[in-house]
Chain A
Amino acid sequence: MNKRTFLPILAAAAAAVCLVPGPAAGQQDVVLTIRDGQPAISFALPPFAASESAKAAAEEVHAVLEADLKYTRIFSLLPKSYYAYIQTQNFKTIRFEDWQSINAAVLFTAEVSQAGNGELVLERNFYDVKSKRQILPGKRYQAKPADLRFLAHRMADEIMKSYGEKPLFTSKIAFVSDRDGNNEIYMMDYDGANQTRLTFNKTQDYSPAWSPDASRLAYTSYQQLTAGLYILDVYEGKRTPVSTRGGNFYSPSWSSDGRRLAFASTMDGNANMEIYAAEIEAKPTRVGRIKRLTFSQNSDTAPTWSPNGRQVAFTSDRAGTPQIYVMDAEGGNVQRISFGASYHDSPAWSPAGDRIVYVARVDNVFDLYIYSIRTQSVQKLTESNARNESPSWSPDGRHVVFTSNMRGGSQIWVIDADGANLRPLTSQGANKLPDWGN
């Protein structure tokens, strides 16, 4: 059984899923188990110890870390009232029996103090209660007050890594917003915090797609009366055009090794969009050969790579209505995978490669559906009598970010892959086309 995929979704039904922590030296003997009816690991996160001047900072980090851990649904945080039963709050000498008595499986403690230069120092420990051993070696962090959220996300990522999970708390979601006048590219944290503008054009920028190393964005920019495709090195501010030939370029998608960029284009003077793949070099960004993958006389759009790079899913109206197809990476062996509705679009391949989420229109309502490649079955993900579209997976495949007008305006929402925990991430202006980076 694939624990990564089924842990949060089918935890209640799972018989016994073993979680072996990551490769931290000398920690291999720590084994945590989820049992029937016990959906999550009981996690003790008592208030952080702090000097008087570091109290607010400690509370901030604690709150962000707590929200991160809840978001995973792997952990179940102990009720705060339980901590009253713990006799000693001195985290240097922990009485594991006390923690065991309140059913804590793991314990995370931290102490926050002021460094001399206005920065904060946080020392944390993470224990398995039963074995009384550290799951991660103790660690100290130093951070500026402005970076406390990031510090909390980093610690949450390290906790996830210790369970062999792909971290997502420091990941960024790119999206399009018109909050400053016209459509530009922005990014935000996974929880909607730190919304930051990335492009500054008078004309619109569209359809951002993160490179797998999360340092570059491919996007469509409406400049010089063309829909051109560019790669932006986000942390260097450097922009590279993918093609200076004519034609329009839309809907870019990176292969998971970052070496190919698929997109839909009219670059050969073709009346309808076809799918192409460009070879991309990194550091510095360079664009190599561009190969055409589709040759239908219809619109082929919205490519998305399988994580192993061997296949591309895309939308085509070659059968008269827009449907989802899968082809191999060279363009051959095309197979339709969407049935049952007259309108499908915007496929996104899951990070584990086992599922494709896409949009289907049924009775004029657009919802997200998850297609399982192994069973070829389809599960409805959203249910909101609205237009839900442009889905993108979280790095761990447990969440899907998408655009919805369920509250009127176009906003970005996130939902767990089993349909739980629907929540909005944006509210300022109209926001759309989210892409969740690694």
Chain B
Amino acid sequence: MKRALILSLTILLAASFTVSCKPKVKPVPKPVQAVEQPKVEKIEPQVPVQKPRLSEEELYMAKSLEQLNSEKPLALINFDYDEYVIREDAKAILDANAAWLKRWPSAKILVEGHCDERGTEDYNLALGEKRAQAAYDYLVGLGISGSRMKTLSYGKSQPLDMSKDDSAMARNSRDQFLVIEK
């Protein structure tokens, strides 16, 4: 009786297992296949932290004078040989320079007069002063305060182009504008 009970319980257990579990399928050995590539998850770059965006004014203030001048915010103008009259092509440049000076009203500039080498030292120092003064006067005429500008003559001492041809002479006859205060 006791044996019959154990047996029946065993059968019952076994039966319950057979009912709850899937019958074990014997694995059929398959032919070797290429290993399937794992799926690639693309990592998007992290969104970088943004500095607070600087205004144009803040960018301007952040620059050193050297940086600012290296960007040449004020274009130079050229003169005809032995002349200090502002040419028509120079007027457009000076108009743009005046606009920049109005955009940055705290800026002060140095107007440097330069000459080509065809002339004597003293005469060219005087001519350089006149050229600087001519641009100064023109900019004053456009509403730029004279207190924001200084003039200086380098005469023929600082040529841009050391060659001796006519185009070098034309390039060297010029006013340069240097920002000296922001």
Contacts and interface: CB of A to CB of B under 8 A. Distances in A.
Interface in B106-162: 110, 117-123, 125-127, 129-130, 133, 137, 150-154, 157-158
B116 to A, nearest CB: 12
B129 A248 contact: yes
A272 B121 contact: no
B68 interface: no
Nearest to B150: A225
A345 B152 contact: no
B180 interface: yes
Contact of B121 (A248, A266, A432): A432
B130 A390 contact: no
Contacts of A211: none
Contacts of B122: 250-251, 264, 301-302, 315, 345-346
Contacts of A222: 152, 154
Contacts of B151: 248, 266
A299 interface: yes
**Main SS at interface, chain B:** mixed
B120 A251 contact: no
Nearest to A273: B126
Contact of B153 (A250, A343, A390, A432): A250
A433 interface: yes
Contacts of A345: 120-123
Interface residues of A, number: 35
B126 A248 contact: no
Contacts of A343: 119, 123
A346 B122 CA distance: 7
A413 interface: no
Interface string A135-170: 000000000000000000000000000000000000
Contacts, number: 80
A394 interface: no
Contacts of B121: 207, 345-346, 389-390, 403, 432-433
A185 interface: no
B123 A272 contact: no
Interface string B2-37: 000000000000000000000000000000000000
B120 A204 contact: no
Interface string A206-226: 110000000000000010011
Contacts of B152: 222, 225-227, 248
A39 interface: no
A301 B123 contact: yes
Interface in A252-284: 264, 266, 271-273
A376 to B, nearest CB: 22
Interface of A: 183, 204, 206-207, 222, 225-227, 246, 248, 250-251, 264, 266, 271-273, 299, 301-302, 315, 317, 322, 343, 345-346, 359, 364, 366, 387, 389-390, 403, 432-433
25 contacts: A225-B180, A226-B150, A227-B153, A248-B129, A248-B151, A272-B126, A272-B133, A273-B125, A299-B127, A299-B130, A301-B123, A301-B126, A315-B122, A315-B123, A317-B126, A322-B126, A343-B119, A345-B122, A345-B123, A346-B121, A346-B122, A364-B118, A387-B117, A432-B121, A433-B121
In the A-B complex, the 3 residue pairs with the smallest Cβ-Cβ separation, listed nearest first, are A299-B126, A302-B122, A345-B120
Given A271-B133, A272-B133, 8 more contacts: A206-B157, A250-B125, A272-B129, A272-B130, A301-B122, A345-B123, A366-B120, A387-B120
